[in-house]
Amino acid sequence: MSEKWIADRMHRIDASGIRKVFDLAATMKRPINLSIGQPHFDTPQPVKDALCQAVQEGKNAYSQTQGIAPLLRVLQSDVDQKYGHSDRRVFVTSGTSGGLMLALCTLLNPGDEVIIFDPWFVMYKHLTTLAGGTVVQVSTYPDFRIRAEAVEAAISDRTKVILFNSPGNPTGAVASAEEVQMLAEIAARHDIALISDEIYRAFCYDEPFRSPAEWNDRTIVIDGFSKSHSMTGLRLGYLHGPQYLIQQMTKLQQFTFVCAPHPVQWAGVTAWEQDLSGYQADYRQKRDLMVSLLKNDFRIVGGQGAFYLFLKTPWGTGTEFVTEAIRNNLLIIPGNVFSPADTHFRLSFAAEDDVLREGAEILCRLARNPPSSLQT
């Protein structure tokens, strides 16, 4: 095969650093794995039963591109109740990643700019590249807060989209109501599309979740079942926004993903009925456990939601610290996977408590004992 066959855009997309850690985990014997970006609990049994039933009942062909009517009804009813926007419509996507790709490809022309907040979820940069756009990064260091003056300074005449994520991956930060309202109003004032990635909204531990759609009725919201219901491999998401945009994204889905997996959509109807409060309480307790174990050796900011902590390394770069952690059988993710800075690392507390305690013990020991090559 000739190298010249490869499109230029592919050379601007790097292999996922997270996947590299996953591949490494497969070669290790019983690693202490705090790298995983998915819930540690299994898909609820009623959801699995509904999926199996749908398959057995022959619901395995294509569905309507926009999603099956029973799932659309419950999603649309929820959205209408929350926002009361007469023009807001829902459609079902093949995962939230599929929804994000459809949104960016619908909105961006070549050379358009997308504002993202550093540190960012790895997919944002590369899907923007795939859609022909360019990312403009706005730093939220050191406290992972969004500042109006920084957003305003990043806006140019090529700015087309602001891409926002709260609760955030990798930081676990939850934007305050004031931050969310500010961002919604800036987008409206400058006539910029605002995409709100709300996949972790079920996991807010200290304050209620707030969406920019409360203040900006043109906000495009991406959500799904992957994290809240531990359905990451089943690829079921949904997207809602102004009807004229939803029509265009649905048209694009028709010629790309076609539809979300049909039997999984029926499982989604059952998933919507599940009580998730027990999972949310469990992850709040795990967050509190990790903070209590790490707070004497690490400065902790963020972590108000999702199931991540993004911690500054006590010595060396993020890569150096993670390398030493891996030598001690602990898997975490270096911060430069999510950021131009190599100063932090991400850990996930989506694990059993005994695993969290083991991981915390290694982290604290490493923090207190840097390698001799880094000691001064």
Q: How much is the average pLDDT of 112-135? A: 96
Contact between 334 and 322 (Cβ < 8 Å): yes
Examine the domain organization and report whether 109 and 125 are in the same domain.
Answer: yes
Q: Is residue 297 part of a domain?
A: yes
Confidence at 17, pLDDT banded by 50, 70, 90: low
Examine the domain organization and report whether 321 and 198 are in the same domain.
Answer: no
Q: Is residue 53 part of a domain?
A: no
**Distance of alpha carbon 63 from alpha carbon 344, whole angstroms:** 44
Above 60 in pLDDT, residue 2?
Answer: yes
CATH number for the domain harbouring residue 268: 3.40.640.10
From 241, 272, 303, the end of a domain falls on 272
pLDDT score recorded for residue 72? 98
Examine the domain organization and report whether 220 and 256 are in the same domain.
Answer: yes
- The whole domain housing 33 covers 3-43+276-367
Sheet holding 159-165, edge to edge: 88-93, 237-242, 220-224, 193-197, 159-165, 113-118, 134-139
Contact between 193 and 161 (Cβ < 8 Å): yes
Could you tell me which residues come within 8 angstroms of residue 170 by beta carbon, excluding any fewer than 6 positions away? Answer: 119, 121, 308, 310, 333, 335, 337, 338, 346
pLDDT score recorded for residue 20? 61
**Distance of alpha carbon 347 from alpha carbon 325, whole angstroms:** 11
Q: What are phi and psi of 184, to 5 degrees?
A: -60, -40
pLDDT score recorded for residue 23? 62
Q: Is residue 96 part of a domain?
A: yes
From 246, 272, 298, the end of a domain falls on 272
Examine the domain organization and report whether 323 and 345 are in the same domain.
Answer: yes
* Residues facing 113 on adjacent strands: 134, 159
Examine the domain organization and report whether 200 and 120 are in the same domain.
Answer: yes
**Distance of alpha carbon 252 from alpha carbon 242, whole angstroms:** 16
Examine the domain organization and report whether 227 and 280 are in the same domain.
Answer: no
Examine the domain organization and report whether 197 and 332 are in the same domain.
Answer: no
Examine the domain organization and report whether 242 and 350 are in the same domain.
Answer: no
pLDDT digits (tens, 9 = 90+) for 164-193: 999 999 999 999 999 999 999 999 999 999
Q: Is residue 176 part of a domain?
A: yes
* Domains contained in the chain, number: 2
Query: Average pLDDT, whole number, for the chain?
Result: 94
